[in-house]
Amino acid sequence: MIMFTKGILTIFTWAFILEIIVFIYYLGISPKPVEFYMNLALLIFTVLTLVSLFLRERKKRKKEQDEDN
């Protein structure tokens, strides 16, 4: 299960980096196209997913560490 979580974290991290690049590109365009707002929504979704996955993994590791002790 750890490899699954690492894979998902890697995918979402790369998605986050690419979305930041696209977001910066769209900031330079004066009339904001609809893709700008779609990217903004996707960026928020990605951040929320990354945070929840990170917190879940951290909680799981802490629980496993407490069981080992």
pLDDT tens per residue, the chain (69 residues)?
A: 567 788 888 999 999 999 999 999 999 998 999 999 999 999 999 999 999 999 988 898 898 888 887
What ranges do the domains of the chain cover?
A: 2-63
Check if the beta carbon of residue 8 is closer than 8 Å to that of residue 53. Answer: yes
| Helix locations, the chain, DSSP H | 2-27, 34-68
State if pTM tops 0.95: no
Check if the beta carbon of residue 42 is closer than 8 Å to that of residue 1. Answer: no
Q: Which two tokens stand for residue 58?
A: 């951290």
